[in-house]
Structure 1
Amino acid sequence: MFTVISILLALCSSSLCGTAQNVRSIPKHILLGAASSAFQVEGAWNIDGKTESIADHLVHSQKCYAKDCSNADVAANSYYMYKRDVEMLRELGVDFYRFSLSWTRILPTGFPDKVNEAGVQYYSNLIDELLKYKIQPVVTIFHWDLPQKLQQLGGWTNPHIVNWYGDFARVAFSLFGDRVKYWITINEPHQLCHYGYGSPYIPPAMNLTGEADYLCSKNVLLAHARGYHIYDKEFRLWQEGMIFITINAEWFEPESEHDYEAAIDANQFWWGLYTHPILSRSGDYPEIVKHRIAVMSTKQGLLRSRLPELSSEEINYIRGTTDILGLNHYTSYLAYRNASTEEYYGNITGPSFDADCGAMNYQPGDWQIGETNATMYAPWGFYKLLTFIRFEYDNIPVFITENGFGNSGALIDDDRVLYYRGYLSAMLDAICDGSHIVGYTTWSLMDSFEWPNGYSIRIGLYQVDYNNTSLPRTPRKSAYVYKEIIRSRTLDMNYEPDMTIPLSVDNSTSNRLTHI
Structure 2
Amino acid sequence: MRILSVTFLVFSEILISSQDEVINNRRFPESFKFGVATSAFQIEGAWNEDGKGESMWDRFLHNNSSKTLDRRNADVACDSYHKWREDVQLLKELGVKIYRFSISWPRILPDGTTNKINQAGVDYYLNLLKELKANNIEPLVTLYHWDLPQHLSELGGWLNPQIVDYFGEFARLSFRLFGDYVRQWTTVNEPKTACLLGYANDYGAPGLWLVADGVYQCAKIQLLAHAKAWHIYDDEFRASQGGKIGFVLDTPWNEPASDSDLDREAAEREMQFGFGWFANPVFIGDWPQVMKDRIANRSKLEGLGFSRLPEFTQKEIDYINGTHDYIGLNIYTGKLVEYLPDYEIGTPNYNFDNGNNVYCDPSWPASSSDWLFYYPSSIRKLVNYVNEKYSPEEIFIAENGWADHGEIDDQSRIRYHKGYLSNLLDAILEDGVNVVGYTAWSFMDNFGWGAGYTHRFGFISVDHDSPNRTRTWKSSGRYYQKVIRTRCLVDTCVD
Q: Which of 240, 265, 269 does residue 269 from structure 2 map onto?
A: 265
Q: Deviations over 1:185-222 (max 9, x none)?
A: 00011011111111222211212102111001100111
Q: Aligned pair 1:135/2:147, yes or no?
A: no
Per the alignment, residue 507 of structure 1 pairs with none
Deviation of 1:257 (Å):
2.0
Give the AA of the match of 1:263.
A
Deviation of 1:430 (Å):
1.0
Q: Aligned pair 1:120/2:118, yes or no?
A: no
Give the AA of the match of 2:182.
V
Per the alignment, residue 308 of structure 1 pairs with 310
Per the alignment, residue 108 of structure 1 pairs with 110
Deviation of 1:22 (Å):
5.5
Listed as ranges, the gaps of 5+ residues in structure 1 are: 1-12, 496-516
Listed as ranges, the gaps of 5+ residues in structure 2 are: 1-10
Deviation of 1:84 (Å):
1.0
Per the alignment, residue 51 of structure 1 pairs with 53
Q: Which of 450, 459, 472 does residue 461 from structure 1 map onto?
A: 459
5 Å matches for 1:55-454?
A: 55-258=57-260, 259-280=263-284, 283-339=285-341, 342=342, 345-346=343-344, 349-370=346-367, 373=370, 375-394=372-391, 396-431=393-428, 432-454=430-452
Q: Deviations over 1:27-50 (max 9, x none)?
A: 111111001000000000000101
Give secondary structure in 2 for the equivalent of 1:86: helix
Give secondary structure in 2 for the equivalent of 1:315: helix
In the superposition, relative to structure 1, how do residues 17 and 219 fare at CA in structure 2: closer, same or farther (>3 Å)? farther
Per the alignment, residue 7 of structure 1 pairs with none
- Distance in 2 between residues matched to 1:338 and 1:124, nearest whole Å: 52
In the superposition, relative to structure 1, how do residues 160 and 490 fare at CA in structure 2: closer, same or farther (>3 Å)? same
- Distance in 2 between residues matched to 1:121 and 1:106, nearest whole Å: 9
Deviation of 1:174 (Å):
0.8
Tell me if the contact between 1:17 and 1:429 (Cα under 8 Å) persists in the aligned partners.
no
Tell me if the contact between 2:24 and 2:426 (Cα under 8 Å) persists in the aligned partners.
no
Percent identity between the two aligned chains: 44
Give the AA of the match of 1:150.
L
Question: TM-score under structure 2 normalisation?
Answer: 0.93
Deviation of 1:394 (Å):
2.2
Q: Deviations over 1:213-250 (max 9, x none)?
A: 10011001110000000000001110111111011121
- Distance in 2 between residues matched to 1:407 and 1:119, nearest whole Å: 33
Tell me if the contact between 1:403 and 1:441 (Cα under 8 Å) persists in the aligned partners.
yes
Deviation of 1:446 (Å):
0.4
- Distance in 2 between residues matched to 1:97 and 1:386, nearest whole Å: 21
Give the AA of the match of 1:275.
A
In the superposition, relative to structure 1, how do residues 116 and 15 fare at CA in structure 2: closer, same or farther (>3 Å)? farther
Per the alignment, residue 500 of structure 1 pairs with none
Tell me if the contact between 2:23 and 2:419 (Cα under 8 Å) persists in the aligned partners.
no
- Distance in 2 between residues matched to 1:30 and 1:457, nearest whole Å: 29
Tell me if the contact between 1:15 and 1:21 (Cα under 8 Å) persists in the aligned partners.
no
Give the AA of the match of 1:469.
P
Question: TM-score under structure 1 normalisation?
Answer: 0.89
Q: Deviations over 1:412-464 (max 9, x none)?
A: 11111111011101111111211110110100100111011000001111000
Matched pairs, number = 476
- Distance in 2 between residues matched to 1:206 and 1:331, nearest whole Å: 27
- Distance in 2 between residues matched to 1:140 and 1:395, nearest whole Å: 19
Give the AA of the match of 2:319.
Y
Tell me if the contact between 2:114 and 2:169 (Cα under 8 Å) persists in the aligned partners.
yes
Give secondary structure in 1 for the equivalent of 2:148: coil
Indicate the larger mover: 15-24 or 295-304: 15-24
Deviation of 1:372 (Å):
5.5
In the superposition, relative to structure 1, how do residues 279 and 410 fare at CA in structure 2: closer, same or farther (>3 Å)? same
Give the AA of the match of 2:469.
L
- Distance in 2 between residues matched to 1:218 and 1:276, nearest whole Å: 12
Give me the CA root mean square deviation: 1.8
- Distance in 1 between residues matched to 2:147 and 2:89, nearest whole Å: 26
- Distance in 1 between residues matched to 2:22 and 2:112, nearest whole Å: 55
Tell me if the contact between 1:33 and 1:98 (Cα under 8 Å) persists in the aligned partners.
yes
Indicate the larger mover: 370-379 or 283-292: 370-379
- Distance in 2 between residues matched to 1:372 and 1:189, nearest whole Å: 21
